[in-house]
Structure 1
Amino acid sequence: MYVAISVPYVAALSLFLFGYFVVYPVVVYFRDRNGLRRYPNMHLLSGISSLPFMVLAHGGARSTYLAKLHQEHPVIRTGPNTLSYGDLRAIKDIYGHNTGCTKDSSYVITSGSHYHLADVIDKHDHARKRKLLSSAYAIKNLEGWEHKVADKTLRMIKHFDNCCTEPLKPITIPKPEDINVDYREWTNYFTLDAIADIGLSERLGFLDQGSDRITARRLDGTRYECNFRECLYQNARKQSLLIWPYEWYPTINKLANMIPFYGRMGKLARDWDGIPVELAHRRLQRYRAGEKLDDFFQALMEDKTGHANNLEWGEIVAEVSIMMNAGSATTAIAMTNVLYQLLKNPTIMKKLVEELDAALEDEDDEETEAGAVSYDKVKHLPYLRACLDESLRLFPPTPHGLPRTTPPDGANILGDYIPGGVSVAMSAFVVHRNENMFPQADKFIPERWLGEEGKALQPFFLAFSAGARGCIGRNISYLEQTVVLASVLRRYELALARPDFELKRLETMNWLIEELPVKVWRRQRTSRLSG
């Protein structure tokens, strides 16, 4: 009796699944209601299924692959309802201030109980949030943030000083025991400590302890310990692997936890959720105790006149979460990338160091020994900024296309009508490797950003996205990158483990990069009073 019932049931279920996952997508593809069959597919099955893009995501180099395809095709269909653009003219259509496109549903399915500034889709709600935080992120506040950035720079320098070795002899390779600083790790400790202080007046102490071990809090109030960076990055990695069939992502995400590879990432993602809860809770306690602190949390709680914003707790936690995430990860990646490029290009390094020395020649010995360079003295140095921007161009910390949905009545992109509800995107990596706009695009050439020619490139610089949804933390990132790089190059010389060392990268939502081990020693500068 059991067999007689189960066999028809299994057969019916199999037929249903085959029809739903195979036949129906094929019918939809040929029906082509949105007219997307006119565009070349990334893969033979891209118009039918998101599976090819999921497979590509598991390779950790989505944008690199798309950049090659876009050398031949300005528009590529990457999924049943998604298009990738490579023509630079589409930037304005997709991301410009007057675009009708909004963030697509991928931001909805990865959000928590409340939206934060980066994942909110509704334009009115976004405008409300941006107004709430814009004063805190305004460029006029740079002076208020600088002492916090300088403090973290000094703490990092203290560690580097302890790791200094004898100067490297010309045309030699460092001894293995002298490669004792992972620049990637320590700049990440820096950005985490800095954004926690700027945003929450919180001293995490990662630079002091040489570890990112942190206490987190569950919703029931119990606490636990975890490693900040591991939790944050593995959460993003899991999303980047599984999110692409948007409608099925919540189910796939749960089912994937039964597979050890994904299950570990899922556990770390849950651990991550408790970190912003604990940090927000600690800061709230201080606020309730009457502390008036100059940080972003204060801007969340009150407007400029001191009136309460009355935000829900979930929204406050969400804003703390994205601040600790976006406010640390991408800047740390940028810091690592630019030093790596300079070490691989010693002529450019020499030119930058000469610019820094000329700008800082009036520093007295006491300032020099302090270690942290004043932002005011280096913020306008053209070659320093050019090196930062060229590194951000060559390897943007967030390389993939930030997806947008066309409005209900459709949108014109590159002069073509795209119906409503289609996801469209441009990868920053694809844009930045466009040979027509950036000749010798695979090479590190800071000079391209100098003068009027450099200004003309800015509309095609997507390291911080573009338009109304561009990165609100851009000013903070440049402040931190500028002070750290100037301070390090003013004080030290550094060397890679070997000339052929290659920095390893894995594309998730950002570009996860592995260790950057270096040898560090104090510079021997000639005194300006000598001779």
Structure 2
Amino acid sequence: MMYTTTDYNSISLYRLFRNASGGQLATSVLAILVGHFVIRGIYRLYFHPLSKFPGPKSAAVSHVPEVLATWQGEQHKRVALLHERYGSVVRIAPDEVSFVHADAWKDIYGHGSKGTLGGMPHKPWHRHTNPNGATSLIIAQDADHTRMRRLFNPAFSERALKQQEPLFMKYVNLLAEKLHEGIERDPNHKFDMLKMYNFTTFDVMGDLTFGEPLQMLSNATYDPWVTAIFAATKTGTRLGLMVHYPLVEKAFKALIPPSIMTKKRYEHHKFAEERVTKRLERGREHKGVDIWDLVLNKSEEKGLSRPEMDNNAGLFMIAGTETTATLVSGLTAMLLDHPRAMKKLTTEIRGAIKTPEDMTIERCAALPYLNACIKEALRLYPPVATGRPRVSPPEGSTVCGHYVPPGWIVSAPHLAMYTSASNFKDPVSFIPERWLGDARFESDKRHALQPFHVGPRDCLGKNMAYHEMRLIMTRVLHTFDLELCEESGNWRDQHCYVLWEKKPLMCTVKAVI
């Protein structure tokens, strides 16, 4: 009987294990494993398609540094430090290269001109599905994304936002009313402004998305739905790390019942589904203007299915709320840390707007220092600090002059890019004047700041977010002086799990009007 070389190797390996004692077997297995990791490490360091990119050897050979940093909520800091050490392009994992060059936005996330990535999603996005099996804007393939985006665009246009101005004003005025009530009861009352901002943005988006608020400002407490959203963020980020270790993921899923793994996601979906049902039952005759007023006619014509409505409603309740509250909280903290900037901004607001009734979207948008402060806050405290990974297309891609072979991950991390000395002078200092033509900052690469991304998958609601940020900050600073409480010092020193793990922002408030 004839044996091939493979047969002889298999027979020899079988005889080795059959004849080995327990100790010898363990030693043999250990040797095989060590050999495997050594050979893989050598390949990743010297022969891998990404081996030409600079970066630490530990990141090139293993996902462990990335996993540990992400688990601890420190990945945003790790990536920023790596760029500070290695430059504008860094290999941050065996399969991923990070760019902080200002042109990386168009090369990675642009509209898909030849040789660019054209909005292709990172592979793990394809692993994510909604409980009802339907898609949504954030995970949709290109054709579905284009169709849904075309349906929702009118609801986020400047014309629609102007129609919704009374709704925005209703809740920013209610925020001011609740602050007044608190200090009337106790002039030394401490407010968690983070909560107050969250209450406001979730009530606004609840009304816009479902035609009714979550009553969080009125009840001064988080709706159970919002609590579920916050609880799922950190856990979801950590569980997502198992994508790097399929065997661990398989074992984990075998040990943990699926009902526990998906409980928070199903809770979130159920909340959205119930509220969409109530909104659709009211039809187009309810009072006010919300997203569905501007979508329902078109959805019947172009085919926005009911499951897609549920999924996108749930998406809007995350993307259109927490991120806006994050930014105004961060800006409040930075202004309180920089009294000169706070004084300059309150002077501008109170000089331009005499009474709360004078506040409009247009008047707030015309305040230059306010806009500069918002941009500077987005730079130093972007609501999403890390990058959105993309996969190089089959023909490969050139990013900022660097050819990336096909099938590997690239990203542009927000915080690392915005705090890089290669893009901004005094990169970690809060200086709104850099956005107002100050000659000291002529060398700043302003186009590096893209907090809402670029290309076909940029943020649909960015105009709404800017209007809401300006209205909230203007209303609060027009009427109140704020003082940061001692326990909220170093407020921006936070962990990040895609979204920031924020601490209470405790302030005392004094009415000036």
TM-score, length basis structure 2? 0.84
Q: In the alignment, is the contact (CA less than 8 A) between 2:372 and 2:436 conserved in 1?
A: yes
Asked if residue 466 in structure 1 is aligned to residue 434 in structure 2, the reply is no
1:172 is matched with none
Which sits farther off after the overlay, 373-382 or 52-61? 373-382
Residue 394 (structure 1) aligned to one of 380, 396, 404: 380
Judging changes above 3 Å, is the alpha-carbon distance between structure 1 residues 202 and 258 closer, same or farther for their aligned structure 2 residues? Answer: farther
- In 2, Cα distance between equivalents of 1:296 and 1:116: 16
Judging changes above 3 Å, is the alpha-carbon distance between structure 1 residues 289 and 308 closer, same or farther for their aligned structure 2 residues? Answer: farther
Q: In the alignment, is the contact (CA less than 8 A) between 1:53 and 1:244 conserved in 2?
A: no
1:302 is matched with 297
2:240 is matched with 243
Q: In the alignment, is the contact (CA less than 8 A) between 2:210 and 2:276 conserved in 1?
A: yes
- Alpha-carbon shift at residue 250 of structure 1 (Å): 9.8
- In 1, Cα distance between equivalents of 2:340 and 2:451: 25
1:108 is matched with 126
Residue 204 (structure 2) aligned to one of 183, 194, 205: 194
Q: Percent of aligned positions with the same letter in both sequences?
A: 23
- In 2, Cα distance between equivalents of 1:285 and 1:21: 57
Asked if residue 517 in structure 1 is aligned to residue 506 in structure 2, the reply is yes
Give, as a single letter, the amino acid of the residue that structure 2 aligns with 1:144.
Q
Cα deviation, 1:261-314, whole Å, max 9, x if unaligned, reads: xx9xx95962343234333333324424544463223455430xx734443433
Give, as a single letter, the amino acid of the residue that structure 2 aligns with 1:87.
H
Judging changes above 3 Å, is the alpha-carbon distance between structure 1 residues 57 and 17 closer, same or farther for their aligned structure 2 residues? Answer: farther
1:422 is matched with 408
> Greater helix share, 1 or 2?
2
- 2:300 counterpart SS class: coil
1:60 is matched with 73
Cα deviation, 1:410-449, whole Å, max 9, x if unaligned, reads: 1011222211111100111111112233211111111111
Question: Structure 2 regions of 5+ residues with no counterpart?
Answer: 1-18
- Alpha-carbon shift at residue 32 of structure 1 (Å): 3.7
Asked if residue 79 in structure 1 is aligned to residue 93 in structure 2, the reply is yes
Q: In the alignment, is the contact (CA less than 8 A) between 2:117 and 2:390 conserved in 1?
A: no
- In 1, Cα distance between equivalents of 2:90 and 2:254: 32
Cα deviation, 1:472-527, whole Å, max 9, x if unaligned, reads: 11111111111111000111111011398111422111222110000011115xxx
- In 1, Cα distance between equivalents of 2:248 and 2:170: 45
- In 2, Cα distance between equivalents of 1:268 and 1:230: 17
- In 1, Cα distance between equivalents of 2:247 and 2:452: 28
The aligned runs of 1:278-427 (5 Å cut-off) are 278-292=271-285, 294-303=289-298, 307-361=300-354, 363=355, 368=356, 373-427=359-413
The aligned runs of 1:100-139 (5 Å cut-off) are 100-101=117-118, 102-112=120-130, 113-120=133-140, 122-139=141-158
- 1:153 counterpart SS class: helix
- 1:243 counterpart SS class: helix
Q: In the alignment, is the contact (CA less than 8 A) between 2:272 and 2:311 conserved in 1?
A: no
- 1:36 counterpart SS class: coil
Residue 207 (structure 1) aligned to one of 207, 217, 220: 217
Cα deviation, 1:179-220, whole Å, max 9, x if unaligned, reads: 520000110111111111112212210111111233xxxxxx
- 1:164 counterpart SS class: helix
- In 2, Cα distance between equivalents of 1:292 and 1:132: 20
TM-score, length basis structure 1? 0.81
1:170 is matched with none
- In 2, Cα distance between equivalents of 1:198 and 1:13: 64
Cα deviation, 1:338-383, whole Å, max 9, x if unaligned, reads: 111111111111111111122113x4xxxx4x6x833232211111
Asked if residue 140 in structure 1 is aligned to residue 159 in structure 2, the reply is yes
Residue 59 (structure 2) aligned to one of 33, 37, 46: 46
- Alpha-carbon shift at residue 232 of structure 1 (Å): 1.5
Bigger radius of gyration: 2
- Alpha-carbon shift at residue 115 of structure 1 (Å): 2.5
1:149 is matched with 168
Which sits farther off after the overlay, 280-289 or 152-161? 280-289
1:161 is matched with 180
Judging changes above 3 Å, is the alpha-carbon distance between structure 1 residues 408 and 394 closer, same or farther for their aligned structure 2 residues? Answer: same
- In 2, Cα distance between equivalents of 1:250 and 1:494: 52
Q: In the alignment, is the contact (CA less than 8 A) between 1:153 and 1:484 conserved in 2?
A: yes
Give, as a single letter, the amino acid of the residue that structure 2 aligns with 1:302.
N
Asked if residue 495 in structure 1 is aligned to residue 494 in structure 2, the reply is no
- 1:76 counterpart SS class: strand
Judging changes above 3 Å, is the alpha-carbon distance between structure 1 residues 118 and 16 closer, same or farther for their aligned structure 2 residues? Answer: farther
- In 2, Cα distance between equivalents of 1:79 and 1:341: 33
- In 1, Cα distance between equivalents of 2:106 and 2:35: 37
- In 2, Cα distance between equivalents of 1:48 and 1:279: 42
Judging changes above 3 Å, is the alpha-carbon distance between structure 1 residues 233 and 285 closer, same or farther for their aligned structure 2 residues? Answer: closer
